[in-house]
Chain A
Amino acid sequence: MKRARKNQRHSQHHWRANLRRLLSPQAWLQRHISVARDSLTRMLHNRLSSMMTAAVIGIALAMPSGLYLLLDNADRLSGSWDGQASLSIFLKESVKPATASRLAETVQGWPEVDSVELITPQQALDEFSQHSGFADVLEALERNPLPTVLIILPVTAHARPTAAEALRDRFSKLPETEFAQLDLQWVQRLSAMIDIARRAVLVIGSLLGLAVLLVIGNTIRLEIHNRRDEIVVTKLIGATNGFVRRPFLYSGLWYGVLGAIFAWLLVEAGFLLLSTPVAKLAGLYQSGFSLQTLPFQLLYLLLGTGILLGLLGSWLAVGRHLSDIEPR
């Protein structure tokens, strides 16, 4: 009886010690680091096949990243005109210069309007003949064909597309107005096109993400198959499913990380190739525009996506194939 109690106390003590050992964060960390390192070592051991898998993942990740980045640059390009939405109000020919300047003053008082510039037909003609090189032709004309124009810059709150359109409609209704034009349309069209392209990149990205998932899943499936005996033995000597799963999950994670790094290098290399011709083109337009490569946030996103897909792919493979392997 006494001995039984002592035994019980002993086993309780043993049990507590076990629990302490298992829950100790240091031991936990040590365990994970060593599994992560083992998985990486194993991958580096089969360098060629691992690198090939990582390259496939890298290419699949680089495609949407590169396209996204191109779009981002295009967006930035169109964005530099975004704030400068302006309205050109062409006045009827019958409007007298005095009426026009009165109108300009009235309009200046509108709360939506930031500034008004009045361009008389004579000013327009001078400017046109200066810049177009058609001075001789214009002189040959009997009378000035150009209308009086009001250039309106709306206040910031009314520079947004819809508000600017409302403002244009208000100008159209003025009796003096022949035609009101919003100089925002091509920017709007470009940004609409970019939106469509962005959606397309999302679709392509999702499909390639799925491909990455399948590649990793299949790679892990093969690895599980190759290590079948080892899995059986470890299960026989008391390995939990979690223990058996862990190295494969880490393999998936490493594939994701390596793939992301590979993708990053590809994107950087691609943009390096593009940067000179783009700078040349920008120079032709007298623009200081230059391509922006992967910002750090996007690099983290790429790495996170790689890790997530790696873990998910290996998780699927492990869940599907590991339960079939039991000692017999």
Chain B
Amino acid sequence: MIRFDNISKRYPGGFEALSNVSFHLHKGAMAFLTGHSGAGKSTLLKLIALIERSTRGQLFFDGRNVSKISARRIPYIRRKIGFIFQDHNLLFDRSVFDNVALPLVIAGYRHQEVGRRVRAALDKVGLLSKEKLLPITLSGGEQQRVGIARAVVNKPMLLLADEPTGNLDPELSREIMALFAQFNDVGVSVLIASHDITLIEELDYPILSLDHGRLAFAEPNSI
């Protein structure tokens, strides 16, 4: 699904966020990405979502080298990825339904299809009854679940989550992780960046650990 081949990322100014990172996340696999803050977790996810571009090395997505892909093609790659953010990144001027519908609208689905899929996604995260509400009226955990519904509504092949439980209490965090496990069970590849070591270790998934931009232990480095 994702293959990093000796990837380095140096930001303008000289700070090297990632150094010679190599790993392979197979199709249908789920893994955690940990490390202290500033270790390069976010940079790694941003490279996969093509928000940042690597300075050196090759990045493969779904068997395709995307290291040098043109800016015009990037949106079509992003549509295959569901991205979940720590601060949700919901649009507060529109309803829960419209937020979740956004990826489908972008991809050009018809109204009828949009309604069907949005309700299915909201049902999966248990928020079907709140589709007409504005996100601001929801709790933190609910907002995060709206974010997840938006990420999965387009049936992406890969879910990327950047500290999805960062602002949630342990109970809610566990629920969110269980949700990710459910998506993984139906074949979606999942990569979750989190520093919540206790929670991660409860769950039985491979862990990629970053330390000052280097992959500290990833055995086997093919997941």
B-binding residues in A (CB < 8 A): 18, 21-22, 24, 26-28, 30-31, 34, 229-230, 232-240, 243, 326-328
Looking across the interface, which residue of chain A has its beta carbon closest to that of B51? A327
Q: A230-B91, A328-B51 are in contact. Are A238 and B111 (CB under 8 A)?
A: no
B186 in the interface (beta carbon within 8 A): no
Q: List 8 A-B contacts (CB under 8 A).
A: A236-B51, A237-B78, A237-B106, A237-B150, A238-B106, A240-B75, A326-B51, A328-B51
Query: Which chain A residues border B72 with CB–CB below 8 Å?
Result: 240
Query: Which chain A residues border B205 with CB–CB below 8 Å?
Result: none
> Distance (Å) between the CB of A49 and the closest chain B CB?
16
Q: Is B107 within 8 A of A238, CB to CB?
A: yes
> Distance (Å) between the CB of B195 and the closest chain A CB?
21
Q: Is A30 within 8 A of B51, CB to CB?
A: no
Q: Is A243 within 8 A of B51, CB to CB?
A: no
B89 in the interface (beta carbon within 8 A): yes
Q: Is A238 within 8 A of B76, CB to CB?
A: yes
Q: Is B110 within 8 A of A237, CB to CB?
A: no
A-binding residues in B (CB < 8 A): 49, 51, 72, 75-79, 81, 83, 89-91, 93, 102-103, 105-111, 150, 154
Q: Is A243 within 8 A of B106, CB to CB?
A: yes
Q: Is A236 within 8 A of B106, CB to CB?
A: no
Q: Is A239 within 8 A of B106, CB to CB?
A: yes
Q: How far is the CA of A28 from the CA of B108 in the complex (A)?
A: 8
Q: Is A30 within 8 A of B111, CB to CB?
A: yes
Query: Which chain A residues border B107 with CB–CB below 8 Å?
Result: 18, 238
Query: Which chain A residues border B110 with CB–CB below 8 Å?
Result: 21, 24, 26-27, 30
Q: Is A237 within 8 A of B102, CB to CB?
A: yes
Query: Which chain A residues border B83 with CB–CB below 8 Å?
Result: 236-237
Q: How far is the CA of A31 from the CA of B101 in the complex (A)?
A: 13
> Distance (Å) between the CB of B16 and the closest chain A CB?
18
Q: A230-B91, A327-B51, A328-B51 are in contact. Are A236 and B78 (CB under 8 A)?
A: yes
Q: How far is the CA of A328 from the CA of B50 in the complex (A)?
A: 10
Query: Which chain A residues border B91 with CB–CB below 8 Å?
Result: 229-230, 233
Complex A-B, nearest 4 residue pairs according to Cβ-Cβ distance, in ascending order = A238-B79, A238-B78, A240-B75, A238-B75
Looking across the interface, which residue of chain A has its beta carbon closest to that of B81? A238
Q: How far is the CA of A24 from the CA of B76 in the complex (A)?
A: 18
Q: Is B78 within 8 A of A21, CB to CB?
A: no
Query: Which chain A residues border B105 with CB–CB below 8 Å?
Result: 31, 34
Looking across the interface, which residue of chain A has its beta carbon closest to that of B94? A230
Q: Is A234 within 8 A of B109, CB to CB?
A: no
Q: How far is the CA of A236 from the CA of B75 in the complex (A)?
A: 8
> Distance (Å) between the CB of A224 and the closest chain B CB?
15
Looking across the interface, which residue of chain A has its beta carbon closest to that of B79? A238
Q: Is B106 within 8 A of A234, CB to CB?
A: yes
Query: Which chain A residues border B102 with CB–CB below 8 Å?
Result: 233-234, 237
Interface centre among A24, A232, A234 (most CB of B within 10 A): A234
Looking across the interface, which residue of chain B has its beta carbon closest to that of A14? B155
Q: How far is the CA of A237 from the CA of B150 in the complex (A)?
A: 9
Query: Which chain B residues border A27 with CB–CB below 8 Å?
Result: 108-110
Q: How far is the CA of A233 from the CA of B102 in the complex (A)?
A: 10
Query: Which chain A residues border B108 with CB–CB below 8 Å?
Result: 21-22, 27-28, 31
